[in-house]
């Protein structure tokens, strides 16, 4: 059903965005990507010529509305957000602008578009497990309340609630997804535990853990997340009972930060590199992980990758690309000296 459709992916330059765009192109969709930057090294650059890229900020309502109109968008995957907890805590206003205002801009532009034309068939808004905040009952299930307390968590709670309010108030065909921590090839946010650890170890350095190593999280391979998004969007075309619903996406094997670092060290055969545990992170929840029973039963999705296999593929990408990057820097330095 998504093949042949004109779709918009906001935040196309991010980890999930680039992988989703690639999968959508392979399915035959006409893809428009919206992002405010194209970072050097991003996988989205590999799709040049296969995707219409629009540079802009989702906080600009007129831009969002113009993109939906000019490209005759039929489906929206709204992924754009400030996605890292640390910067979100340091810059709450810009986080709220991106994650909350950006979401209502997408939804209001979609509502405006549908009032004039029924062309737009659906929207998936990417929320997060952080939208649940800190709760006693684990794993989180979709009927748990949204109760974020810290800036990033609050921004996700608000965006989540706003998205579903547009369904209940205006019958906008919206679904919300709540993923665990995504990892995979192409993640250039080095402050995240998976790419940061891989980078340090490939350089022969001890990995750095900002927390005390005990926080427990879901770690979801990006290809599994893409599969869930595609499966859910296909179902939305044929089953309106999914509209207004939220779906957790998880491989249901939570691990601690220290455990995932140790897994990476073992896969790289560098268990001699003992982690540096700084124990300085704050504004983070100790334990949070998800049940994905609902999306398994309702949509028929299940993950294809366990942690070891997903990390092995991820490590290989960084091994190749960091080596290529180092070679390029060395060549540039040699040319400069000449």
Catalytic residues: 152
Asked if 176 contacts 258 with a C-beta cutoff of 8 angstroms, the reply is no
Written as six digits, the tokens of 61 are 């309502």
- The position carrying tokens 């998004």 is 229
The four Cα atoms 19, 20, 21, 24 give a dihedral, to 10 degrees, of 130
From the list 302, 170, 163, 173, the residue with the least C-alpha distance to 241 is 173
Asked if 67 contacts 210 with a C-beta cutoff of 8 angstroms, the reply is no
Long-range contacts of 298-303 (CB under 8 A, 24+ apart): 298/235, 298/242, 298/245, 298/247, 299/228, 299/231, 299/232, 299/235, 299/242, 299/247, 300/231, 301/227, 301/228, 301/231, 301/232, 301/249, 303/220, 303/221, 303/224, 303/227, 303/251
Asked if 94 contacts 82 with a C-beta cutoff of 8 angstroms, the reply is yes
Asked if 183 contacts 217 with a C-beta cutoff of 8 angstroms, the reply is no
Asked if 151 contacts 89 with a C-beta cutoff of 8 angstroms, the reply is yes
């Amino acid at each position: 059903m998504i093949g042949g459709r004109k779709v918009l992916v906001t935040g196309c330059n991010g980890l999930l965005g680039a992988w989703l765009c690639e999968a959508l192109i392979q399915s035959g969709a006409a893809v428009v990507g919206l992002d405010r930057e194209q970072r050097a090294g991003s996988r989205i650059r590999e799709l040049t010529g296969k995707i219409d890229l629009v540079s802009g900020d989702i906080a600009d309502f007129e831009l969002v509305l113009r993109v939906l109109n000019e490209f005759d968008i039929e489906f929206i995957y709204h992924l754009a957000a400030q996605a890292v907890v640390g910067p979100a805590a340091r810059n709450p206003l810009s986080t709220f602008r991106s994650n909350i205002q950006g979401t209502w801009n997408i939804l209001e532009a979609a509502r405006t578009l549908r009032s004039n034309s029924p062309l737009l068939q659906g929207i998936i808004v990417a929320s997060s497990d952080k939208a649940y905040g800190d709760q006693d009952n684990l794993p989180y299930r979709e009927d748990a309340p949204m109760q974020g307390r810290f800036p990033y968590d609050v921004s996700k709670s608000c965006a989540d609630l706003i998205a579903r309010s547009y369904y209940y108030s205006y019958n906008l065909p919206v679904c919300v997804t709540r993923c665990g921590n995504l990892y995979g090839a192409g993640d250039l946010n080095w402050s995240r535990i998976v790419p940061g650890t891989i980078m340090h170890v490939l350089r022969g350095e001890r990995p750095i853990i900002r927390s005390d190593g005990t926080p427990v999280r879901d770690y979801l391979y990006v290809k599994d997340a893409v599969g869930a998004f595609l499966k859910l969007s296909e179902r939305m075309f044929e089953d309106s009972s999914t509209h207004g619903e939220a779906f957790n996406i998880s491989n249901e094997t939570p691990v601690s930060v220290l455990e995932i670092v140790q897994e990476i060290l073992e896969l790289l055969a560098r268990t001699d590199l003992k982690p540096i545990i700084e124990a300085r992170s704050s504004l983070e929840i100790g334990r949070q992980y998800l049940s994905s029973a609902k999306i398994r039963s309702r949509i028929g999705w299940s993950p294809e990758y366990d942690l070891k296999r997903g990390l092995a593929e991820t490590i290989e990408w960084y091994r190749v690309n960091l080596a290529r990057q180092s070679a390029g820097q060395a060549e540039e330095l040699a040319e400069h000296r000449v």
